[in-house]
Structure 1
Amino acid sequence: MFQNILVPFDLSNQSTRAFKVALDIAKNYNSKVTLLTCIEGDAWHHKYYDARADAELIKKQKKVSKKYLEKLEMSAKKNNVSIKSQIIASKSVVNDIVNFAKSRKHDLIVIGSHGRTGFDKLLLGSVANGVSQKTKCPVLIVK
């Protein structure tokens, strides 16, 4: 039923829970899992600072994300689940997740219900909600 599962991963506890659920589904359906981390940089840098500062921030975020993703990949391999991960620079996380899932023919997206909180959430809206509204494949939102 589900051959290719996409797990958007933002290093939050919710996305870690979503990964664990996706791992269980993958074991049951012999599915492949793809972890996707979208890195935005800092919106304020785009407006008030030069691009070098933003590029340096993205580089640091990629380094931190890579360490987390490597741990999750090891966990999947221990469970005999095929896994790969990708980190992309993003200007619109929701659109990038939806486009990534569509272009690579994912048939399920497993996403945490909340990642960012506080002021960022008010500015950016809910990624999980946006993905569930815009994608055509099933979305499992994990609390």
Structure 2
Amino acid sequence: MMFSNILVPFDLSNQSIRAFKTALDIAKNYNSKITLLTCIEGDAWHHKFYDSRADNELIKKQKKVSQTQIAKLEALAKKSGVTTKSQIIKSKSVVKDVVTFAKSRKFNLIVMGSHGRTGVDKLILGSVANGIAQKASCPVLLVK
């Protein structure tokens, strides 16, 4: 199987940076393109006193930080001769949105970081990586 179109969900964590570097190695070997996808979530604690202006400001700040980090990764890819694109989307369900994005754009591989949570942490916090691995229609490589 040829991995010509690789998706890297990027959440600014060290694990997602390691996943990007792994995807970069794969891309060099297969002459592939990489797309970085960052899902930005607003305030998850909505209640009757919710103010959307605060949510919009939070999203704007998250987007700015994400763009700065993505630019660094794109520069690293350019030095390696790998073509990259990036997309930042507002998301209510990261798992659903990553899986939908991957399927709609026919990615051959998803390379993503995993925090490696177990036990109660995994139960309480859930696992985005596990959800994507279970629901994606293409191979998923988890990097710890």
TM-score (norm 1): 0.93
After TM superposition, the structure 1 = structure 2 runs for residues 68-107 of structure 1, keeping only pairs within 5 Å, are: 68-107=69-108
Total equivalences in the alignment: 141
For residues 85-133 of structure 1, the C-alpha deviation after alignment (integer angstroms, 9 at most, x for no partner) is: 00000000000000000011101000101289xx996555101000000
Secondary structure in 1 aligned to 2:75?
helix
Partners of 2:143 and 2:97 in 1: how far apart? 20
Q: Aligned runs of 1:25-104 on 2, under 5 Å?
A: 25-44=26-45, 46-47=46-47, 48-104=49-105
Maintained 8 Å contact 1:39/1:90: yes
Tell me the TM-score normalised to structure 2 length: 0.92
Structure 1 residues not aligned, in runs of 5+: none
The answer on 1:141 being equivalent to 2:142 is yes
Partners of 1:63 and 1:111 in 2: CA distance: 21
Q: d(CA) in 1 for partners of 2:41 and 2:123? A: 16
CA pair 91-121 structure 1, distance change in 2 beyond 3 A: farther
In structure 2, the gaps of 5 or more residues are none
Q: After TM superposition, which residue ranges in structure 1, 4 or more long, deviate above 2 angstroms? A: 119-124
